[in-house]
Amino acid sequence: MKELNNPYLVKVYSDVQKRNQGKEFLQAVFEVLQSIEPIIHKHPEFEQHGIVERIVEPERLIHFQVPWVDDNGKTRVNRGYRVQFNSALGPYKGGLRFHPTVNESVVSFLGFEQVFKNALTNLPMGGGKGGSDFDPKEKSDGEIKRFCQSFISELYRHIGQFTDVPAGDIGVGSREIGYMYGYYKKIKNEFTGVLTGKNVNNSGSLVRTEATGYGVVYITEEMLSKVKNDNFKGKRVSISGSGNVAIYTAEKVKELGGIVVTVSDSSGYVYDENGIDIAILKQIKEVERKRLTEYAKLVPTSTYHDNSNGVWDIACDIAFPSATQNEIDLKDAEKLVKNGVTVVAEGSNMSTTPDAVEYFIKNGVLFLPGKAANAGGVAVSGLEMSQNSLRLSWSFEEVDNHLKEIMINIFKTIDETAKKYGLEGNYVDGANIAGFLKVASAMIWQG
Ligand code: NDP
């Protein structure tokens, strides 16, 4: 791993280390500082205006108690978070994650990444993120509802359509957004676009459900076409996760002629040489909310393996990690390269550890970082905000076309930025530099 040498960046990072213990946040900050190191000396104004030290410090970090009553009448308590990271480009925007691993470091890294991701979409959105260490697994619908209502009964005072507009993430889908939206409306007595990912009959946007997965595939398709004059036809594709991002990545890959050979959950993975059956996957995960073991029971050509990380042992041309952070480490990267992977695009945020990213790039794998690859979700959330403000609903085709155009533009931006700074093919640096320059310039303009 490279070291930082620029004295200004070394000092900023050392201060970040003193103030923050969590490894995920430090990892995300270090990656961005590394990327901007080659350009920082060309911009003495950044140090003058304290831009880097401001960009790595959240504008506001809120944490709060979330008490809720389980089905046995017992009161339980979780911790809720919202990190309002940077508002230079617009209202804070970013999802809510409900998962037992959520802590200050996790929401901070996600909020920090979101700042650059949102900048790349070219829509007017700042960056934020939030969530709770609540585990939605095996909770009844009533428990989920009571938790969501308690969570929003505190969060409502910190958010608003022009202030901070949360969306979903791991463990937060349309059902949870609905419970939070309904309760927000009741408390505030207003029907505004304060959350995105709403039901399409209730001011939600068409394509929001599909957006992140479709977006990952659109940007990968563009990269394949521009860099290799190639496409998805006949490619073997490995996907991890079986949630929102994984399902719609798989659906679009299949539509474009690729063969999705794996999906996983936190307990194991399913392998099917003939391609995953998307309709059955959706039925099990979205309708019945069951585990992947059920998939293997229904599809005789598939096999279930109870080691979720084993998904990276399978030979593939293209890999879409779409479960959680740091799910591909150096060993996984070595296996993937040995087995012939040529493209890796992050559906999940910071899916890949820094040494694994370095290994992919050194070995000629085309690597798209999450802040570029999975920006389609927040992009369509931005379009949902526009539709809410206009009190209009655009057609599926219209939103899908906007999404595609945004993803193609993101690829153009990160590719051209990488080339401009002599880093051709390094889309991690391209994304970090392009996002950083946009936010920095807005911060300087605002004083
Ligand atoms: P979902 O909750 O819909 O699905 C998450 C999937 O990942 C599930 O299959 C889950 O398995 C698996 N998973 C979660 N945590 C772990 C873990 N620690 N180890 C192994 N598997 C795990 O979430 P999404 O699909 O919405 O999100 C997936 C990733 O994509 C996250 O990193 C998220 O930040 C990112 N993302 C999502 C966007 C969106 O629009 N939804 C937008 C941009 C990024 P199990 O059911 O067993 O827990």
Which pLDDT tens digits describe the chain residue by residue (447 residues)? 678 999 999 999 999 999 998 999 999 999 999 999 999 999 999 999 999 999 999 999 999 999 999 999 999 999 999 999 999 999 999 999 999 999 999 999 999 999 999 999 999 999 999 999 999 999 999 999 999 999 999 999 999 999 999 999 999 999 999 999 999 999 999 999 999 999 998 899 999 999 999 999 999 999 999 999 999 999 999 999 999 999 999 999 999 999 999 999 999 999 999 999 999 999 999 999 999 999 999 999 999 999 999 999 999 999 999 999 999 999 999 999 999 999 999 999 999 999 999 999 999 999 999 999 999 999 999 999 999 999 999 999 999 999 999 999 999 999 999 999 999 999 999 999 999 999 999 999 999
Question: Ligand 1 center to residue 418 CA distance, Å?
Answer: 29
CA-nearest residue for atom 5, ligand 1, is 243
CA distance 373 to 90: 21
Count the neighbouring beta carbons within 10 Å of the beta carbon of residue 270.
Answer: 22
The SS3 assignment for 101 reads coil
What spacing in Å lies between the alpha carbon of 110 and ligand 1's midpoint?
13
- Residue of 197, 195, 28, 215 lying closest to 105 (CA atoms): 28
Q: Which of 135, 123, 93, 98 is nearest to 111 (CA)?
A: 93
* Residue with CA nearest ligand 1 atom 11: 265
Tokens for 445, please give them.
Answer: 């303009």
Task: Choose among 126, 125, 122, 177: nearest CA to 155.
Answer: 177
**Cα–Cα distance for residue pair 20/28, rounded to 1 Å:** 12
> Tell me, what DSSP letter sits at residue 225?
H
DSSP state of 68: E
Cβ–Cβ < 8 Å for 254, 289:
no
Give me the phi and psi of 100, to 5 degrees please: -60, -20
Q: How far apart are CA 302 and CA 295, in angstroms?
A: 8
Closest ligand 1 atom, residue 323 Cα: 7
E strand intervals along 157-213: 164-167
List, as own/partner pairs, every contact residues 150-153 make where C-beta atoms lie below 8 angstroms and the sequence separation is at least 24, other chains included: 150/66, 150/67, 150/68, 151/66, 151/80, 151/180, 152/179, 152/180, 152/183, 152/184, 152/187, 153/183, 153/187
Cβ(184)–Cβ(194) under 8 Å? yes
**Which token pair is 140?**
């009844």
pLDDT at 204: 94
Count of alpha carbons within 13 angstroms of residue 430, beta-carbon side:
25
Pocket of ligand 1 (CB under 6 A): 168-171, 212, 241-246, 265-267, 308, 322-324, 347-349, 374, 377
CA atoms within 13 A on the CB side of 427: 27
Give the separation between CA 430 and CA 219, rounded to whole angstroms. 14
Chain-centroid distance, C-alpha 391: 27
Q: Say whether 75 sits in a helix, a strand or coil.
A: strand
Burial of 122 (0-12, 13-18, 19+ CB in 10 A): middle
Supply 5's token pair. Answer: 């040498």
| Dihedral, 433, 438, 442, 445 alpha carbons, nearest 10 | 80
Q: Which residues neighbour 411 within 8 Å (Cβ) at sequence distance 6 or greater?
A: 219, 222, 223, 226, 372
Kindly list the catalytic residues. 129
For β-strands 343-345 and 318-320, DSSP reports them as: parallel
Which of 98, 108, 132, 169 should be mutated for ligand 1, with most atoms under 8 A from CB? 169
pLDDT for 154 equals: 98
